[in-house]
Structure 1
Amino acid sequence: MYATGDEYREEMGRRGLSVLASSVADIWSSKADVCRSALRLLAIASMELFIDFLLDRLEGHQVVMVLGLEAQSELSCRAS
């Protein structure tokens, strides 16, 4: 079943935001504050895409991984 109307617009908004956030995190990975903010936004917009983003960067991107885990931990603490 496909989403329609408002559901479709909401889903496309989340995906668009997720793509933007992951692109910013990737491009600005050398700037911790920018990358951290983008990863927080990505985690809020789509946890699935957030996890996929981190899995794609397991090797060779230690700073991004640390910032991603920090963002996930922060989000988990807020949810509690």
Structure 2
Amino acid sequence: MAWRRKPEKPCSIVARAIEVYGDLDPDECGGVCPTGALRFEAGRVVTEPSLCLVCLACMALCGPSRVRVVSEWVCPE
């Protein structure tokens, strides 16, 4: 059996979008994101997918029917 070499740069998962459906409660979902990719500013929800670690804490604590992280694998060529 031939062994394949380990890639020099491993694949990583990245967030392409953070979709919010309906209203989120700041008391319920305000501090769930460890990086601030999903946060509340001036009473509205702000999302920054570039900060997202794809930990899915927002989906677990706010509800998968209200927050969805759209992600994909990125591998070196």
Q: TM-score, normalised by structure 1?
A: 0.33
Structure (1 or 2) with the greater helix fraction: 1
Q: Which has the larger radius of gyration?
A: 2
Structure with the larger RCO, 1 or 2 (CA within 8 Å, 6+ apart) = 2
